[in-house]
């Protein structure tokens, strides 16, 4: 990666945008020029990159001149409105929103799983939903070994998945409740402190919310296999950062706990945390600010043959968003 790239971050002042900038720096991505864009209310703010203050500019339709790689994390509506401008200006867009995930012309990529799909892009590459990425990281090596037949997954999703305002609301409500004051929901639909509730997305006709349906359809697209049966339940929990998931996976072939542990221990992007003697398993507090997803609690499903239960925790802002996007950019830069 000797050449340098003009990289833009769209939604630079948001929780994921800030992590994208940090990740570009930490991973030493070959940034020759960095342009930061956000809404008009963020114009004039500065963010730091490589020790230097970088101005945030207003996102406009003609702001992408010279940009080669554009990392978008400003929400689906902004992506739909501005991604085409970036592509027409010559950039490859790596989009973190839901806008293009199911677009047949946009590859949906987790670099540890399907990097070969990147070359099929027509200007836009989609970042999967955070819950999907964190689920698939441990399932992919197992799928390759024994072929998945069915997944039952329950998520424990942190406030970080809903952005900086939701994280602030959880902190504020926690202080209020501990001080004997009422917790007033403003960002989330329900009290967040000392509570949990079904994911705050719309319920579809099939009874599953938007987050749950994403996990099904995105898995099929990333794995290129729509025969896998998936039953998700997505829940918001009062954790600031990093999502966790309880997964039961049924396979076509038998797979032992020992074989699964061996596969997961050497899989890229994963760290095995499975200490039964000390009762130490993946926790969101340990996954926070970590690039790897933590996987453990690996055990045979007592109710079903050829089936394993496991637990995973991953930083939603990193592998679930910013890191995955930068990793896609790294594959682009190496190709």
Which residue in 63, 130, 234, 293 is the catalytic one?
Answer: 130
Q: Which residues are CB-neighbours of 2 under 8 A, at least 6 positions away?
A: 30
Query: Collapsing DSSP states into helix, strand and coil, what is residue 122?
Result: coil
- Paired residues of 93 in beta bridges: 70, 124
Give the Cα separation of 32 and 58 in Å (integer): 21
CA 11/CA 30 separation, integer angstroms: 20
C-alpha–C-alpha distance, residues 297 and 284, integer Å: 14
- C-alpha dist (Å) from residue 69 to 49, 89, 143, 283: 17, 11, 32, 34
Q: Name which of 271, 266, 274 is nearest 287 in CA terms.
A: 271
Residue 182 is given by DSSP the state: P
Please say if 130 is a catalytic residue.
yes
CA-based end-to-end distance of the chain? 9
Q: Which of 121, 143, 199, 243 is catalytic?
A: 243
234 in active site: no
CA distance 252 to 143: 9
Identify the three-state secondary structure at position 168. Answer: helix
DSSP 284: H
113: enclosing H helix or E strand: none
Catalytic residues: 130, 243
């Amino acid at each position: 990666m000797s050449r340098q790239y003009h990289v833009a971050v769209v939604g630079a002042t948001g929780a994921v945008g800030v992590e994208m900038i940090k990740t570009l720096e930490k991973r030493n991505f070959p940034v020759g020029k960095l342009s930061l864009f956000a809404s008009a209310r963020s114009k004039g703010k500065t963010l730091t990159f490589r020790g230097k203050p970088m101005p945030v500019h207003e996102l406009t339709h003609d702001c992408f001149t010279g940009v080669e790689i554009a990392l978008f994390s400003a929400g689906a509506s902004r992506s739909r409105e501005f991604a085409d401008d970036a592509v027409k200006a010559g950039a490859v867009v790596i989009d973190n929103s839901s806008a293009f995930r199911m677009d047949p012309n946009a590859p949906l990529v987790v670099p540890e799983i399907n990097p070969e799909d990147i070359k099929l892009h027509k200007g836009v590459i989609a970042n999967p939903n955070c819950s999907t990425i964190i689920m698939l990281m441990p399932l992919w090596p197992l799928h390759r070994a024994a072929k998945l037949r069915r997944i039952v997954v329950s998520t424990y999703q942190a406030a970080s998945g809903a952005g900086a305002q939701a994280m602030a609301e959880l902190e504020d409500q926690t202080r209020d409740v501990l001080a004997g004051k009422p917790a007033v929901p403003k960002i989330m639909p329900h009290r967040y402190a000392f509570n949990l509730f079904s994911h705050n997305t719309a319920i579809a006709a099939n009874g599953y919310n938007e987050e749950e349906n994403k996990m099904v359809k995105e898995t099929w697209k990333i794995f290129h296999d729509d025969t896998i049966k998936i039953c998700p339940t997505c829940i918001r929990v009062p954790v600031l950062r990093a999502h966790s998931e309880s997964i039961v996976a049924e396979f076509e072939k038998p797979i032992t706990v020992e074989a699964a542990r061996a596969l997961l221990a050497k899989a890229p992007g994963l760290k095995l945390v499975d200490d039964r003697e000390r009762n130490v398993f993946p926790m969101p507090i340990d996954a926070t600010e970590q690039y790897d997803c933590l996987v453990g609690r690996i055990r045979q499903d007592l109710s079903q043959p050829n089936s394993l239960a496991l637990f995973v925790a991953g930083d939603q802002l990193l592998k679930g968003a910013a890191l995955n996007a930068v990793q896609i950019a790294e594959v682009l830069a190496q190709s």
